[in-house]
Amino acid sequence: MSILSQLKRALPKNTVISGSENTRPFECDGLSVYKQEPLAVVLPNNITQIKKVLEICRKNNTPIVTRGAGTGLSGGATPLEGSVVLGLSKLTQIISIDEEKKIAVLEPGVRNLAISEAAEEFNLYYAPDPSSQIACTIGGNVAENSGGVHCLKYGLTVQNVEAIKMLTIDGEELLLTRQDEGIGLLALMNGSEGLLGVITEITVKLTPKPELARLVMAGFSSVRDCADTVAEIIKNGIIPSGLEMMDKFAIEASEAFAHPGYPLDAQALLLCELDGAIDSVNEDLNKVL
């Protein structure tokens, strides 16, 4: 019996996708310059189904490529020839939010932005904010160790993950936490692009919303002057919550598309965001200006 037949027999209807026309949307991630048609795509609904996929693929010596929302730009979800793509986009449950401990327990298919939306009632949010946060999943964020504009102050995904539950290719369930002794396997899973196992549950740290946030925009006559200003800000002990630098090409492209009102005579533009307690933000703002 072929592996396709085995998968379709073991899993519910419409869980296994096959055929070129149906699998084409999964032949690459956001890095579309590299494409490879997979043998099949499987979209499980729970851990039991994931275990069945792992068992069948292991017995047939078939490679597995895990996939979140496919928004990554590094090719981490690009299928291998003859592989089965294991998509985790249906595992979207926010299992719990603990206001006191400031953590959220999530399935890997939960969207990045949905975490902050769910935590808003507790005046908390999830700090790492990739540009694709409206669509990307927390499982994909862990696989790529995603960051975002606010990673300078609040860290990458690896600094904001407290625990991970995962399955090995043998179907063994592992729990990795910050409290584990020995090799830092929790940190190793961040950025591993699915090579070490399949993530089934993630516990993330939630951050209290700041009292105040202020954004400073400054234009410069050169990229070097802009970069020197960033160095000077850090040198003075100020850690902005967000930093974004744009060269003239980016300024002109943004202005042509969205018309935000950027100064077109500037050679470089710096966006500096400060957040925190009101007094602290105002003090840092005066230093920056």
Cα 212 to Cα 172: distance, rounded to the nearest angstrom = 46
pTM: 0.91
Does residue 58 have a pLDDT over 90? yes
pLDDT of the residue at 217: 94
Order the strands of the 64-67 sheet from edge to edge.
16-17, 40-42, 84-87, 64-67
Cα 282 to Cα 47: distance, rounded to the nearest angstrom = 49
Parallel, antiparallel, or unpaired: how do β-strands 94-98 and 64-67 relate?
A: unpaired
pLDDT, tens digit (0-9, with 9 covering 90-100), for 14-24: 999 999 999 99
Q: Which residues in the chain are classed under CATH 3.30.465.10? A: 94-208
CATH topology of domain 3-87: 3.30.43
Could you tell me the pLDDT band of residue 228, with boundaries at 50, 70 and 90?
very high
pLDDT, tens digit (0-9, with 9 covering 90-100), for 178-197: 988 888 899 999 999 999 99
pLDDT of the residue at 246: 95
- Mean pLDDT within 194-223: 96
pLDDT of the residue at 181: 80
User: CB–CB of 199/165 below 8 Å?
Assistant: yes
Identity at 5, one-letter amino acid code: S
Q: Which residues in the chain are classed under CATH 3.30.70.3450? A: 212-288
Q: Which residues in the chain are classed under CATH 3.30.43.10? A: 3-87
Average pLDDT of the chain to the nearest whole number: 95
Tell me which CATH code domain 212-288 carries.
3.30.70.3450
Cα 97 to Cα 104: distance, rounded to the nearest angstrom = 4
Does residue 288 have a pLDDT over 90? no
Cα 68 to Cα 140: distance, rounded to the nearest angstrom = 5
Tell me which CATH code domain 94-208 carries.
3.30.465.10
